[in-house]
Structure formats: C-alpha cells, structure tokens
Amino acid sequence: MNQFTVDVLTPNKVIARDVPAVSLIIPTVRGQINVLPDHTHIVSRLATGHLTAFGGAGDNDRSFTVSYGICKVVGNKVSILCNTCEEDHEIDAERAQLALDNANSVLKGSENLTDDDIEKYQRKAERAQIRLQIAKRFKK
C-alpha cells in the first residue's frame, strides 16, 4: 500500500514523528484538505481544528487537535508545525471546559479589551470547543 509519513511538532515538543498514513485530513485557513500519497507539494497555513491521519491496513488512525501554524507537504513527507497540539486520547475534557468558560467570561466583558486581546480569547474559545468535540468522540 502506498503510504507517506507525518510529523507533528509544536514549539515545545515533538508530538508525533514518522506517523504512517495513507490519507491525512488537515484543517487549513481555506478549509480542510485531504493529502494522499504522491500529493502535490504545498505549504499552507493551519486553522484550529481536527487533524486526522488514517493509517491504513496495518497502522492505527491517529487524531490530533491543532491550532494555528503551517503544514508542508513535500514528496511523501508531511510536516505539521503548530502552536498547540494534543492527541485525542490526551485531551482533558474538564480542563477544556474550564478554558472555554474562562474565555467566554473574559469575552463577555470585552469592552475593556484591546482588539488583540479579543482575538486571543476568541482563539482560546475556539481551541477549547474543538478539544471538547474531539474528547466526546474519543470517549465513545
């Protein structure tokens, strides 16, 4: 079976290296893209979302939450460089709910926030919502 490999990295650590995949769904700022073996070379900005690597017959599928960064597809190697990332089984749903509640609380009092602060807390809320969605799927 034709495969490629995926690396997922943040500024703080390597989340996954050389993950075998036959298909990869990547959330980009222009929508989701599906990368297959021998995909054309691309570099794209990531959006906050759900990254899924489908492993094929002998390998497990792997899911991650990612937030902002870039993805690079060159040959049969995909590099995901993102600000934050968690694999689905690592997500703490209680912590994600607290983060969502906190971000929403800060945004409700947004009249005293700068535009940059509003954007920051909107991203925090978006990231927490994605984490909660994936946590619910993983627990089923």
- CA end-to-end span of the chain, whole Å? 29
pLDDT in tens, 77-133: 999 999 989 888 888 888 888 988 988 888 887 678 888 888 888 888 888 888 888
Sign of CA dihedral 16, 87, 24, 11: negative
pLDDT value at position 137?
74
Residue burial 65-103, b: 16+ Cβ < 10 Å; e: rest: bbbbbebebeeeebbbbbebbbbbeebeeeebeebbeeb
pLDDT value at position 139?
64
Choice among 9-18, 115-124, 130-139 with the minimum mean pLDDT: 130-139
